[in-house]
Amino acid sequence: MSIEVNDIHFNYGKIKALDGVNLDLSQGAIGLLGPNGAGKSTLIRIMLGFLSPDRGEGRILGYDIKTEQEEIRRYVGYMPEDDCFIPELDAVSFTSYLGELSGMPRQEAMKRAHEALYYVGLEESRYRKVETYSGGMKQRLKLAQAIVHDPRLIFLDEPTSGLDPQGRTEILDLIMDISSKKDIQVLISSHILPDIELTCSYVVILNKGKLAAQGEISKLKEIRDLYELKIKGEAQGFLRKLEEMKCRLEETEDGLLKVYTPPGYNRQEFFRIAAEENVQLRHFVKSQSSLEDLFADAVGVD
Amino acid sequence: MTIKEKGYAHWDGEFLDKKFPWWPITRYGIKLTFRKKFFKLVFPMSLLPAVVFLAGIYVSERLEDFKFMFRDSVPFLQIDPAYFKTYLAESFMIFIMLITVIFCGAGLISDDLKHNALQLYFSRPLKKRDYFLGKTAVIVFFLFILTLVPGLIFIIMKLIFSGSFKFFLSYPWLPLSVIAYSVLVTAFFSFYTLFISSLSKNRRYVAILIFGIYVSSDIFRAIFYENFHNHYFSLLSISSNIQQVGAAIFNQKTPHPIHWILSLLVLTAICVLAWFVLKKKVRGVEIVK
Amino acid sequence: MKPIIETQHLSKWYGNVLGLSDVTLEIEPGITGILGPNGAGKSTFLKLITGQIKPNIGTCSIKGKRIWNNYPLFSFIGFCPEQDAFFDELTGWQFVTGLLRLHHYSSAEREDKAQKALEIVELVEDKDRVIKSYSRGMRQRLKFAQAIAHDPEIIVLDEPLNGLDPLGRRKIIRLIKSYKGEGRTIMVSSHVLPEIEAMTKRIILIHQGKIFAQGDIHYIRDLIETHPHIISIKCSDPRRLASNFIQEEFVLNVKFSSAEKTLLVETNNRDKFFSLIPSLSVKNNIEVEEITSPDDNLQAVFDYLVGK
Q: Which residue of A has its CA nearest to C136?
A: A36
Tell me, yes or no, if B126 comes closer than 8 A to chain A by beta carbon: yes
C-alpha distances in angstroms, A235 versus A269, A279, A280, C267, C273? 15, 7, 9, 23, 18
C neighbour chains, 3+ CB pairs within 8 Å: A
Cα angle C99, C105, C107 (rounded to 5 degrees) comes to: 90
Please check whether residue B70 lies inside any domain of the structure.
no
The secondary structure of A118-179 as a DSSP string is: HHTT-GGGTTSBGGG--HHHHHHHHHHHHHTT--SEEEEESTTTT--HHHHHHHHHHHHHHH
Please state, in angstroms and rounded to a whole number, the distance separating the CA atoms of residues B274 and B280: 10
Domain carrying residue B168: 23-61+78-284
C-alpha distances in angstroms, B263 versus A275, B182, C114? 99, 16, 62
Q: How far apart are the first and last CA of chain C?
A: 36
Which regions of chain A are under pLDDT 50?
none
Please check whether residue B49 lies inside any domain of the structure.
yes
Tell me, yes or no, if A223 comes closer than 8 A to chain C by beta carbon: no
CB atoms within 10 A of CB B160: 11
Please state, in angstroms and rounded to a whole number, the distance separating the CA atoms of residues C302 and C153: 29
Provide, as residue numbers in chain C, all residues whose Cβ is less than 8 Å from the Cβ of A168.
191-192
> Chain C closest CA to A242's CA: distance in Å?
15
Position B194 scores a pLDDT of 95
Position B286 scores a pLDDT of 54
Tell me, yes or no, if A296 comes closer than 8 A to chain C by beta carbon: yes
Is residue B67 predicted with pLDDT exceeding 70?
Answer: no
Closest CA to C185 of C163, C215, C153, C161: C153
Please state, in angstroms and rounded to a whole number, the distance separating the CA atoms of residues A209 and A22: 11
Which one-letter amino acid corresponds to residue A132? T
Burial of C164 (0-12, 13-18, 19+ CB in 10 A): buried
Handedness of CA B161, B162, B164, B166 (dihedral sign): negative
Burial of A300 (0-12, 13-18, 19+ CB in 10 A): exposed
The secondary structure of chain B as a DSSP string is: ---PPSS-----------S-TTHHHHHHHHHHHHT-HHHHHHHHHHTHHHHHHHHHHHHHHTHHHHGGG-SS--GGG--SHHHHHHHHSSHHHHHHHHHHHHHHHTHHHHHHHHTTTHHHHHTSS--HHHHHHHHHHHHHHHHHHHTHHHHHHHHHHHHHHHTSSHHHHH-TTHHHHHHHHHHHHHHHHHHHHHHHHTT-S-HHHHHHHHHHHHHHHHHHHHHHHHHH--GGGGGG-HHHHHHHHHHHHTT---SSSS-HHHHHHHHHHHHHHHHHHHHHHHHHHHH--
Cα angle C205, C206, C210 (rounded to 5 degrees) comes to: 130
> Chain B closest CA to A224's CA: distance in Å?
38
Please check whether residue B1 lies inside any domain of the structure.
no
Position A302 scores a pLDDT of 66
Is residue B127 predicted with pLDDT exceeding 50?
Answer: yes
Domains annotated for chain A, with CATH where assigned, are 3-219 (3.40.50.300), 222-292 (3.30.70.100)
Is residue B64 predicted with pLDDT exceeding 70?
Answer: no
C287–A135: do the CB atoms touch at under 8 Å?
Answer: no
Do C122 and C172 meet the contact criterion of CB atoms below 8 Å apart?
A: no
Please check whether residue B164 lies inside any domain of the structure.
yes
Q: Which residues contact A205 (CB under 8 A, 6 or more apart)?
A: A33, A34, A211, A212, A213, A214, A294, A295, A298, A299
Tell me, yes or no, if B202 comes closer than 8 A to chain A by beta carbon: no
Please state, in angstroms and rounded to a whole number, the distance separating the CA atoms of residues A273 and A102: 64
Please check whether residue B221 lies inside any domain of the structure.
yes
Do B93 and B53 meet the contact criterion of CB atoms below 8 Å apart?
A: no
Best residue in B36, B120, B121, B201 to probe A by mutation, most A CBs within 10 Å? B120
Please state, in angstroms and rounded to a whole number, the distance separating the CA atoms of residues B45 and A279: 89
Position A206 scores a pLDDT of 93
> Chain B closest CA to A282's CA: distance in Å?
35
In this predicted structure, which of A159-168, A221-230, B104-113, B239-248 has the lowest mean pLDDT? A221-230
Do B77 and B63 meet the contact criterion of CB atoms below 8 Å apart?
A: yes
Which regions of chain C are under pLDDT 70?
1, 308
Do A96 and A109 meet the contact criterion of CB atoms below 8 Å apart?
A: yes
Best residue in C136, C192, C232 to probe A by mutation, most A CBs within 10 Å? C192
Q: Which residue of B has its CA nearest to A143?
A: B120
Q: Which residues between 7 and 26 in chain B have a beta carbon less than 8 angstroms from any beta carbon of chain A?
A: 7-11, 13, 15-18, 21, 24-25
Pairs of CB atoms within 8 A across A/B: 107
Please state, in angstroms and rounded to a whole number, the distance separating the CA atoms of residues B188 and B175: 20
Please state, in angstroms and rounded to a whole number, the distance separating the CA atoms of residues B206 and B105: 9
Q: Which residues contact B95 (CB under 8 A, 6 or more apart)?
A: B239
Do B35 and A87 meet the contact criterion of CB atoms below 8 Å apart?
A: no
Largest CA distance in chain A: 75
- β-bridge partners, C17: C14
Best residue in A266, A280, A285 to probe C by mutation, most C CBs within 10 Å? A280
Please state, in angstroms and rounded to a whole number, the distance separating the CA atoms of residues C130 and C119: 17
pLDDT in tens, C190-233: 999 999 998 999 999 999 999 999 999 988 988 888 888 999 99
Average pLDDT over every residue of B170-181:
91
Position B50 scores a pLDDT of 92
In this predicted structure, which of A155-159, B182-186, B255-259, B284-288 has the lowest mean pLDDT? B284-288
Task: Report the residue from A36, A275, A295 with minimal CB separation from C137.
Answer: A36
Cα angle B77, B79, B80 (rounded to 5 degrees) comes to: 130
- β-bridge partners, C230: C266
Is residue B285 predicted with pLDDT exceeding 70?
Answer: no
- In this prediction the pTM is 0.86
Domains annotated for chain C, with CATH where assigned, are 5-222 (3.40.50.300), 227-306 (3.30.70.100)
Please state, in angstroms and rounded to a whole number, the distance separating the CA atoms of residues C136 and A82: 13
Provide, as residue numbers in chain B, all residues whose Cβ is less than 8 Å from the Cβ of A139.
none
Q: What is the percent of chain C with per-residue pLDDT over 90, rounded to a whole number?
A: 49
Provide, as residue numbers in chain A, all residues whose Cβ is less than 8 Å from the Cβ of C195.
194
Please state, in angstroms and rounded to a whole number, the distance separating the CA atoms of residues B94 and B243: 9
> Chain A closest CA to B139's CA: distance in Å?
18
> Chain A closest CA to B141's CA: distance in Å?
19
Do A142 and A110 meet the contact criterion of CB atoms below 8 Å apart?
A: no
Position B73 scores a pLDDT of 55
Tell me, yes or no, if B287 comes closer than 8 A to chain A by beta carbon: yes
Please state, in angstroms and rounded to a whole number, the distance separating the CA atoms of residues B26 and B28: 5
Tell me, yes or no, if C137 comes closer than 8 A to chain A by beta carbon: yes
Do A160 and A192 meet the contact criterion of CB atoms below 8 Å apart?
A: yes
Please check whether residue B8 lies inside any domain of the structure.
no
Do A48 and A72 meet the contact criterion of CB atoms below 8 Å apart?
A: yes
Position C46 scores a pLDDT of 93
C282–A169: do the CB atoms touch at under 8 Å?
Answer: no
B57 pLDDT tier (thresholds 50, 70, 90): confident
Do B235 and B263 meet the contact criterion of CB atoms below 8 Å apart?
A: yes
Provide, as residue numbers in chain A, all residues whose Cβ is less than 8 Å from the Cβ of C289.
267, 286
DSSP state at residue A25: E
Please state, in angstroms and rounded to a whole number, the distance separating the CA atoms of residues B147 and B186: 9
Task: Report the residue from A168, A232, A282 with minimal CB separation from C191.
Answer: A168
Q: Which residue of B has its CA nearest to A115?
A: B9
Q: Which residues contact B64 (CB under 8 A, 6 or more apart)?
A: none
Is residue B89 predicted with pLDDT exceeding 90?
Answer: no
B neighbour chains, 3+ CB pairs within 8 Å: A
Q: Which residues contact A177 (CB under 8 A, 6 or more apart)?
A: B7, B8
Position C87 scores a pLDDT of 87
H-run or E-run covering C258: none
Please check whether residue B172 lies inside any domain of the structure.
yes
B117–A83: do the CB atoms touch at under 8 Å?
Answer: no
- Across chain C, what does the average pLDDT equal? 90
> Chain C closest CA to A137's CA: distance in Å?
12
Please check whether residue B202 lies inside any domain of the structure.
yes
Burial of C22 (0-12, 13-18, 19+ CB in 10 A): middle
Best residue in A12, A18, A71, A101 to probe B by mutation, most B CBs within 10 Å? A101
Provide, as residue numbers in chain A, all residues whose Cβ is less than 8 Å from the Cβ of C277.
271, 280-281
Q: Which residues contact A51 (CB under 8 A, 6 or more apart)?
A: A10, A42, A45, B286, B287
Domain count, chain B: 1
Do A33 and A295 meet the contact criterion of CB atoms below 8 Å apart?
A: yes
Position C179 scores a pLDDT of 87
What is chain B's Cα-based Rg? 23
Tell me, yes or no, if A278 comes closer than 8 A to chain C by beta carbon: yes
Provide, as residue numbers in chain B, all residues whose Cβ is less than 8 Å from the Cβ of A151.
none
> Chain C closest CA to A281's CA: distance in Å?
6
E strand spans, C132-209: 154-158, 185-189, 202-207
B124–A101: do the CB atoms touch at under 8 Å?
Answer: yes
Q: How far apart are the first and last CA of chain B?
A: 52
Helix (H, G, I), strand (E, B) or coil at A216: strand
H-run or E-run covering C48: helix C42-49
Task: Report the residue from A254, A281, A296 with minimal CB separation from C274.
Answer: A281
